[in-house]
Amino acid sequence: MHGVKLFAPASIANISCGFDVLGLCLENIGDIMEIRRSEKAGIHITSIKGQVLPLEANKNVAGVAGLALLEAHNPQLGFEIKIEKKIKPGSGIGSSAASAAGTVAGINYLLGNPFSPSELIPFAMEGERLACGSAHADNVAPALLGGFTLVRDTNPLDVCKLPTPLELAATVIHPKIEVKTSDARAVLKQRVSLEKAIKQWANVGALVSSLYEEDYALLSRALVDEIVEPSRAILIPHFAKIKDACKAAGALGSGISGSGPSVFALSRGMTNANKVAQAMQEVYKDTDIPFEIHVSPIKQSGVSILEILK
């Protein structure tokens, strides 16, 4: 077994009330990667299709994540990586996380799986550190574990996989504008009122409960962000209209995906998710902002092996 071809899924982080702690994995949006053994030690990125990104391993999230894994396992080993980027960087649906997660999952598979999926998360987090300056796990955790995940702590790392209601589906609209993570962080308030904090952690608890109980009505009530969304909404054109349109189309709830500019909505069933997609399109079709829309079930597993390469 000299190589693997794999699917590295996109993800939605925060999920309204769970800033920096909640995430979910998308089934049919993601990158395609090929990872092969190399006689030359280290990580060697040989091609990237779809986006202009650095090939140097220490300047690419995939390379940094792979090097972190090799440092922990055996620095003398070598791997070559080809990446077909289908998730646009800066879209807010875990582009960097997909590359990092795909790399460590693929290398781990070729090594005979010495690390569990949870043990791969810290390596992938190093790619996130390169991408945005902080080693956060709210995208890489669902990309590796699948479904919904909760990052209880990062020091030491403590990640919980949560159940996924079978009918749940996501709709994501990506307005093709740039929202820098640094700008999205800069608009956040450093202090919040006790009243808002109480509402926020109550919503997080309710959301987790709704996943275990498959209580879609409770999930809908929990998809409220008291703290982050009110500050970040100004960065996304027509955000209020999008939320109103999603609600009118039958979505359980909606919010900013990651730091934006993508906006997500969760629905019960793909039929409703497609109706929400049409409603999102109506909001943006007469603007001068290009956009793309994705509709996807929640992926129950993380990175998927597509083919064994001889």
Tens digit of pLDDT for each residue in 262-286?
999 999 999 999 999 999 999 999 8
CATH architecture of 168-297: 2-Layer Sandwich (3.30)
Question: In this structure, what token pair is assigned to residue 279?
Answer: 């409603």
**What pLDDT is attached to residue 180?**
66
CATH of 3-161+299-309, one of 3.60.140.10, 1.20.58.1290, 3.30.230.10, 3.40.50.1000: 3.30.230.10
Q: Which of 84, 119, 167, 181 is catalytic?
A: 181
Beta bridge partners of 37: 79
pTM for this prediction: 0.95
Question: Could you tell me where the DSSP H helices lie in the chain?
Answer: 61-73, 95-110, 117-132, 140-145, 181-186, 194-213, 216-222, 229-232, 239-248, 270-284
- What is the distance between the alpha carbons of residues 120 and 118, in angstroms, rounded to a whole number? 5
**What pLDDT is attached to residue 201?**
96
Annotated active-site residue 181? The verdict is yes
- CB-neighbour burial class of residue 182 (10 A; exposed 0-12, middle 13-18, buried 19+): exposed
Residues of 63-79 as b/e, b for ≥16 C-beta within 10 angstroms?
A: bbbbbbbbeeeeeebbb
**What pLDDT is attached to residue 161?**
97
**What pLDDT is attached to residue 273?**
98
**What pLDDT is attached to residue 193?**
95
Q: Which of 128, 149, 226, 229 is catalytic?
A: 128
Q: For the chain, which ranges sit under pLDDT 50?
A: none
Annotated active-site residue 287? The verdict is no
Percentage of the chain lying above the pLDDT 70 cut: 98
**What pLDDT is attached to residue 178?**
75
Beta bridge partners of 151: 159
Q: In the chain, where are the structural domains located?
A: 3-161+299-309, 168-297
**What pLDDT is attached to residue 131?**
84
